Amino acid sequence: MTMVVKDPGARIDFEFEWAAAYPDGQAVLASAWTCVPDEPDGVAVAAASHDLLKSVATLTGGIAGRIYRVSNRVTMSDGQIDERSLTVRVEER
């Protein structure tokens, strides 16, 4: 699992590249992002998009000293469902 350090005031994009895991030409048909814990002023997905090969989320917020798990769940063109997560540690920088 990847770890990212984020300032509470920063707005950053994070991307998962799915093409390398599915070399037989499968494509991303659907993508959903979640943040845990889901709390007021916590890390949140402000925007999300995907194309056939990758998914991108814009992360905002977060409470200094807290750790969050951000997950991306995708459905591939062959019906497979996969999920990847990253850990976001929030620190004043």
- For residue 69, name the pLDDT band (cuts at 50, 70, 90): very high
pLDDT of res. 25 = 82
Please state the pTM of the whole predicted model: 0.92
- What CA–CA distance (Å, rounded) separates 13 from 22? 23
pLDDT of res. 22 = 83
In three-state form (DSSP H/G/I as H, E/B as E, the rest C), the secondary structure along 9-76 is CCCEEEEEECHHHCCCCCCEEEEEEEEECCCCCCCEEEEEEECCCEEEEEEECCCCCCEEEEEEEEEE
Identify the residue whose tokens are 């019906």. Answer: 79
- For residue 84, name the pLDDT band (cuts at 50, 70, 90): very high
